[in-house]
Amino acid sequence: MQRISVELGKSLKSKAKLKGFTQAEIANHIGVEQSTVSRIFNGKTQLGHQHFLLLCDLLEISPHNMQVSDDVEEQKEGYRTIPEYNVRVSAGHGEFQGIEEVKQNLQMPKIFLPENGQVGFVRVEGDSMTPTIAHGDYVAVEFDSGYTSDGLYLIRIDDAVFVKRLQRKFGGVRIISDNQQYEEMNVSPDDGNDFGLIGRVALVIRKT
């Protein structure tokens, strides 16, 4: 994922204007909604790496020469700037919401977060993961982490996104709710695109 800051968004908007591209034309070329292009130009958003490369190719610019800077105060020593996404995921039942728009940027102590990788905060709704995660809590997700070990993950099942506990088993994966009132699910490679792993939950922040 490529974070688009306000400064970078303005630069991309200027390049597009010089070449005479409309937002609709750009959206069609890189395969996103027109509203996403608007958020790109306004900054404070997130864009898939492949979409970002397509955009740079369309505007005939080098992605390596584009300066990405945070429109937040200078990062403090020992802290890391982490985006909070304007999306809520389910610990029970919920519809999929794309993780792309940044609500705000937060500075968190590095000691609590993975050293590398793309990390972001999302809000969790529902009670299926209580007492581990309560309704309204936030989780820090290490995106594209892959399955590193049994534990908490952000996953997709069909068109819904959940926070669940995963446990490997022979021929598949157990999807477990810490709230025992919810039945566990099982997935196997035969399920194809019905199941997807978005990232590992690295930190849970309790709502107070």
3-state secondary structure of 87: strand
Statement: residue 156 has pLDDT above 50: yes
Please report, for the domain that includes residue 8, its CATH number: 1.10.260.40
Q: Where are the alpha helices (DSSP H) in 61-199?
A: none
Mean pLDDT over 52-74 rounds to 66
Instruction: Say what the alpha-carbon torsion angle 32, 89, 85, 156 is, to the nearest 10 degrees.
Output: -50
Q: Let me know whether 167 and 95 are in one domain.
A: yes
3-state secondary structure of 8: helix
Cα(192)–Cα(73) distance, integer angstroms: 44
Amino acid 68: pLDDT: 44
pTM: 0.61
Radius of gyration (Cα) for the chain, nearest Å?
A: 19
pLDDT tens, residue by residue, 106-138: 888 888 888 777 788 888 888 999 999 999 899
What is the sign of the dihedral through the CA atoms of 102, 103, 104 and 106? negative
Mean pLDDT over 161-167 rounds to 91
Statement: residue 100 has pLDDT above 60: no
- Number of Cβ within a 10 Å radius of residue 150: 14
Q: How many domains does the chain have?
A: 2
Q: Let me know whether 194 and 169 are in one domain.
A: yes
Whether residue 42 lies inside any domain: the answer is yes
Range with lowest mean pLDDT among 28-32, 52-56, 65-69: 65-69
Span between the terminal Cα atoms of the chain, in Å: 30
Note down the domain range covering 17.
2-65
Amino acid 79: pLDDT: 83
Please report which confidence band the pLDDT of residue 95 belongs to, taking 50, 70 and 90 as the band edges: very low
Please report which confidence band the pLDDT of residue 69 belongs to, taking 50, 70 and 90 as the band edges: very low
Amino acid 179: pLDDT: 94
Residue 74 burial (CB < 10 Å; 0-12/13-18/19+)?
exposed
Q: Let me know whether 91 and 119 are in one domain.
A: yes
Q: Which of 161, 61, 159, 78 is nearest to 113 (CA)?
A: 78
Whether residue 122 lies inside any domain: the answer is yes
Whether residue 108 lies inside any domain: the answer is yes
pLDDT tens, residue by residue, 33-50: 888 888 888 876 777 778
